[in-house]
Amino acid sequence: MNKKGLAILLRSKMRPLSPASKVNHVQLAPLDVNKVATQNASSKTPRDFGQVRESMHSVISMNRKEILDTALSEFSEGYFSLSQENRHKLLLILAREYDLNRGQVRELMKQYIGLEIPKGDGIDEHGHEVEGHLSAFYRIERNLRHALNPMYAILFERLNTHPGGLKFLSTVRADILSIIADENIASIRALDSYLKEKLITWLSPANLELHQITWDDPASLLEKIVAYEAVHPISNLIDLKRRLGIGRRCFGYIHPAIPGEPLIFIEVALMKNIASTIQEVLWHDPPTPEPEASTALFYSISSTQPGLAGINLGKFLIKRVIHLVKKDMPNISNFATLSPIPGFMQWLLSKLASSERSVPIFSENILQPQEERALLDAYVDSTEGRNGMEVLLHLLTSTNHEWTQSDGLQPILLRLCARYLLHEKKRGKALDSVANFHLQNGAMIGRLNWMADRSEKGLTQSGGIMVNYIYSLEHIEDYAQAYFSTGHIQVSPDVLHYIEAMEKNEDSSCM
């Protein structure tokens, strides 16, 4: 094994290659890696909380640059040495004590309301009198803009220009998000909103470099690909080399302030056709010869920074990769994904469980009459369910996913999955997070694939079903705009027929 392979193997804690380990993936999610990084940072000499708080105040209040750089370094080092509890305590102080001065804002607003808007009478040919009246408006508006900036804005701005500051701010936001997950605190939500807006500006596509990641990249970068791959974990060095080799591409966004570490990366398989199972993508050997490929399949997109949650870097990444691949490989005409449906089983099991908890008149039967009859006829002796909903619930919650051996569940689960993707909404948008991501980027729901991911994770999250989202170069912007403005979902006839069949059966049952 060469030095690079050994370095990746050791630092990423990957298992050595063995035939038995070929399909057993090491689960290394981004949040776990972040936790390890935090623990490593916290292992340094701990700082007194008061000292870290004082260094934070110094960064916000001082103006001398030669001292400011030292204060910024002291604050960031001190922050990393704090326990999670003390970090949260410090962020609460930052959010509450370094907020904007509302007394000043109110006073300026009173002055602004008291101004009389000039009507234009008695103006000379140069408009001097109007300009004189408006100068008071300009002055107060300028002061208002300044007053509406919270004091912690100074901290964020100065950290952003400090070496390592942007990465540090991402860590800070991850800590803010962990507070929000536990408590609904208005000042913390305001702090998060402000920092998120600044990060969106600082991480605009114009500031990011699109980098094709290959085996020739440094081991330190490849190590991060292994560690942060969140969709289909990389199991060994051969798996990693395959994903970076012939018939495969990997692209990442890198920011100059965080060199050698992609903020987000996407993995692409070059294939003859749109894949219907993840097994053929990950383990198909040999790969399709690149000149024979007509499809670029996006099968994994992973963020490396938990603190950048909600900042849609993937939207710009996918579009840039599509155009780059199309430019380099004119033979590629189809762009699609093979995506998980992470919220499907949670939604389905919740719906099914409601039949046991609720009075029948208040519960929704999501099964069609013929599906109900089929379930009762096939499984009435093997389950304790009183109706089709209870039977299906008992089947899906059985040990070892025994239900996957039943062909009778395929049409039922595919129809319910189509309903979930198309009809289940949150604030007018798709309830499923991955669906919402691709739809807002201008994709169409193309095809549902039965037993496309038989891994434990795939069966638990989506019943093994995966979906192809199709990206059409001609319609990306139109589809994205339609979804953004009205929530309209573009869907292929292959998926739509599940819903149409359901509606037809419902109509006939009412006749």
Closest CA to 489 of 455, 449, 440, 417: 440
Q: For residue 244, give Cα distances in angstroms to 16, 239, 248, 304.
A: 19, 9, 6, 18
Active site annotation includes 462:
no
438 in active site:
yes
Q: Of 25, 88, 162, 438, which is the active-site residue?
A: 438
3-class secondary structure for 465-481? CEEEEEECCCCHHHHHH
Catalytic residue among 55, 339, 355, 462: 339
DSSP string covering 326-367: HHH-TT--EEEE-B--TTHHHHHHHHHHHHHHS-GGGS---S
Pairing of strands 295-303, 334-337: parallel
Beta strands in 21-163 (DSSP E): none
Calculate the CA 486 to chain-centre distance: 22
Give the span between the Cα atoms of 339 and 278, in whole angstroms.
9
**Largest Cα–Cα distance of the chain, in whole Å?**
95
Contact 303, 264 (CB under 8 A): yes
Q: Decide if 233 contacts 25 (C-beta within 8 A).
A: yes
Gap between the Cα atoms of 364 and 358, Å rounded: 9
Catalytic residues: 339, 438
